[in-house]
Structure 1
Amino acid sequence: MSILSLVNAACTRLIESGIRPEEAGFDAEVLARHLLGWDRATYFTERHRKVTRAFDKEYITLIARRARREPVAYLTGQREFWGLEFAITPDTLIPRPETELLIETVLHLRPDRSIDGVLVDVGTGSGCIAVVLAIEFPNMTIVATDISQPALAVAQANAKRHGVSERIEWRHGPQLAGLSGPIDLIVSNPPYVTAQAMQHLAPEVRDHEPHVALNGGTGGTRTLRALIAEASVKLVNNGSLVVEFGCDQEAVFRQVVNAAHLTDTQVIHDIQGLPRVGVATYRTNR
């Protein structure tokens, strides 16, 4: 049997497990390339090769796990974010493409890449946001916090991989705990799925990703509210909070920001036109 024939059979199995056909075909190919160490060009050139016994055994095992709806990122241990490869484990949320909008927003907000100051990534997870911003702002002090010690270990490994481990300070704890300020920028992709919606998530998310990084409590804004309250007393003058939230949480974001007396509120929409990222600024003369 050729590699292509085995991949096609795997695609059929994934479809039968409930995975959408277009996703199943892509996943079957990605898992094959992962085991073979091939890029896509090599795969298309060499996919008619005969399957080896070792590959057949490992590949069938991976496909069986994917059929049980384990995310591909956990099976390969990798996920791309901002053009960089990050190690991913079940202790970390899998980075989503829409979270790159957070990075874009920060770069637009602070176009001068030579600035210094303190930037805090709250709920760093895999560390993808902290690492990217450490690369983009080489003179800033980066602090990354998370309530999960295993997630912090993954983030530290990713920082080392991308050559910025000495630039990032790691804090184990919730939100801004232990940080007295002043802070120039606070960036966060906090948990924002409502407690009620957790059970309705896709199996890949509901059954495999860390609930602590997903569940935002009743209304999905528990962490968002706490973070805004802390930001209002720890940001420097003209310091800003940049935060991702659920597409139905814009009104809550604006309400809580106003109550905390933060100003210059902005809401940025994602590629689907949905409100996704909020910006608010602290000013002493507000």
Structure 2
Amino acid sequence: MSILSLVNAACTRLIESGIRPEEAGLDAEVLARHLLGWDRATYFTERNRKVTRSFDKEYIALIARRARREPVAYLTGRREFWGLEFAITPDTLIPRPETELLVETVLHLRPDRSIDGVLVDVGTGSGCIAVVLAIEFPNMTIVATDISHPALAVAQANAKRHGVSERIEWRHGPQLAGLSGPIDLIVSNPPYVTTQAMQHLAPEVRDHEPHVALNGGTSGTRTLRALIAEASVKLVNNGSLVVEFGCDQEAVFRQVVNAAHLTDTQVIHDIQGLPRVGVATYRTNR
């Protein structure tokens, strides 16, 4: 049997497990390329080769796991974010394309890449946001926090891989605990799924990604509210909070930042036109 024939058979199995056809085809190919160490160009030129016994066994095992709805990123151990490859484990949330909007917003908010100051990434997970911003702002002190020791270990490995491990301070704890300030920028993709909505998430998310990084409590805004309250007392004058939230949480975001006396509120919409990222600034002369 050729590699292509095996991949096509795997695609059929994934479709039968409930995965969408367009996703199943790509997943089957990606997992084959992962095992073979091939890029896509090599795959297309070499896919008619006969499969080896070792490849056949390993590939079938991976496809069986994917059919049980394990995310591809956990099976390959990596995910691309901002054009960089990051190590990913079940201890970390899988970076989403919409979270790149968070980075884009920070870069638009602070167009001068030579600025210094302190930037805190709250709930760093795999460290993708902290690493990218450490690269983009070479003079800033980056602090990355997380309540998960295993996630911090993954983030530290990613920082080392991308040459910024010496630029980032790692803190274990919730939100801004242990950080007295002053802080110039606070960036976060906090948990914002409601407890009730958790049970309705796709199996890949509900059954495999860390709930601590997803579940935002009954309203979905538990961490968001706490973070805004802390930001209001730890930001420097003209310091800003940039945070991702659920598409139905814009009103809550505006209400809470207003109650915390933060100003210049902005809400940025994602590629689907949904409210996704909020910005609020602390000013002493507000």
Aligned length in residues: 286
The CA distance in 1 between the partners of 2:265 and 2:12, in whole Å, is 48
The CA distance in 1 between the partners of 2:139 and 2:58, in whole Å, is 45
The CA distance in 1 between the partners of 2:157 and 2:182, in whole Å, is 27
**Map of 1:210 onto structure 2:** 210
Report the CA distance between 1:132 and its aligned residue.
0.1
The CA distance in 1 between the partners of 2:108 and 2:22, in whole Å, is 35
The CA distance in 2 between the partners of 1:201 and 1:107, in whole Å, is 31
The CA distance in 2 between the partners of 1:139 and 1:54, in whole Å, is 48
The CA distance in 1 between the partners of 2:218 and 2:210, in whole Å, is 17
**Map of 2:222 onto structure 1:** 222
Residue 267 of structure 2 aligns to a residue in which SS?
A: strand
Residue 199 of structure 2 aligns to a residue in which SS?
A: helix
The CA distance in 2 between the partners of 1:198 and 1:69, in whole Å, is 16
Deviations 1:235-272 (A, max 9, x none): 00000000000000000000000000000000000000
The CA distance in 1 between the partners of 2:78 and 2:178, in whole Å, is 31
**Map of 2:12 onto structure 1:** 12
Query: TM-score normalized by structure 2?
Result: 1.00
Deviations 1:137-187 (A, max 9, x none): 000000000000000000000000000000000000000000000000000
Deviations 1:24-47 (A, max 9, x none): 000000000000000000000000
Residue 218 of structure 1 aligns to a residue in which SS?
A: coil
Deviations 1:119-152 (A, max 9, x none): 0000000000000000000000000000000000
The CA distance in 2 between the partners of 1:103 and 1:179, in whole Å, is 22
Report the CA distance between 1:61 and its aligned residue.
0.3
Residue 223 of structure 1 aligns to a residue in which SS?
A: helix
The CA distance in 2 between the partners of 1:104 and 1:197, in whole Å, is 28
Deviations 1:61-91 (A, max 9, x none): 0000000000000000000000000000000
The CA distance in 1 between the partners of 2:149 and 2:229, in whole Å, is 24
Matching of residue 148 in structure 1 with residue 148 in structure 2: yes
Deviations 1:200-248 (A, max 9, x none): 0000000000000000001100000000000000000000000000000
Residue 144 of structure 2 aligns to a residue in which SS?
A: strand
Query: TM-score normalized by structure 1?
Result: 1.00
The CA distance in 1 between the partners of 2:247 and 2:219, in whole Å, is 12
The CA distance in 1 between the partners of 2:102 and 2:125, in whole Å, is 15
The CA distance in 2 between the partners of 1:248 and 1:44, in whole Å, is 42
**Map of 2:200 onto structure 1:** 200
Residue 200 of structure 1 aligns to a residue in which SS?
A: coil
The CA distance in 1 between the partners of 2:162 and 2:18, in whole Å, is 37
Report the CA distance between 1:109 and its aligned residue.
0.1
**Map of 1:284 onto structure 2:** 284
Residue 108 of structure 2 aligns to a residue in which SS?
A: helix
Matching of residue 266 in structure 1 with residue 236 in structure 2: no
Deviations 1:6-25 (A, max 9, x none): 00000000000000000000
Q: Gaps spanning 5+ residues in structure 2: where?
A: none
**Map of 2:250 onto structure 1:** 250
The CA distance in 2 between the partners of 1:258 and 1:98, in whole Å, is 25
Report the CA distance between 1:97 and its aligned residue.
0.2
The CA distance in 2 between the partners of 1:94 and 1:120, in whole Å, is 20
Deviation >3 Å, runs of 4+: none
Deviations 1:89-110 (A, max 9, x none): 0000000000000000000000
The CA distance in 1 between the partners of 2:219 and 2:29, in whole Å, is 38
**Map of 2:58 onto structure 1:** 58
Residue 54 of structure 1 aligns to a residue in which SS?
A: helix
The CA distance in 1 between the partners of 2:224 and 2:134, in whole Å, is 23
The CA distance in 2 between the partners of 1:60 and 1:70, in whole Å, is 14
The CA distance in 1 between the partners of 2:21 and 2:10, in whole Å, is 11
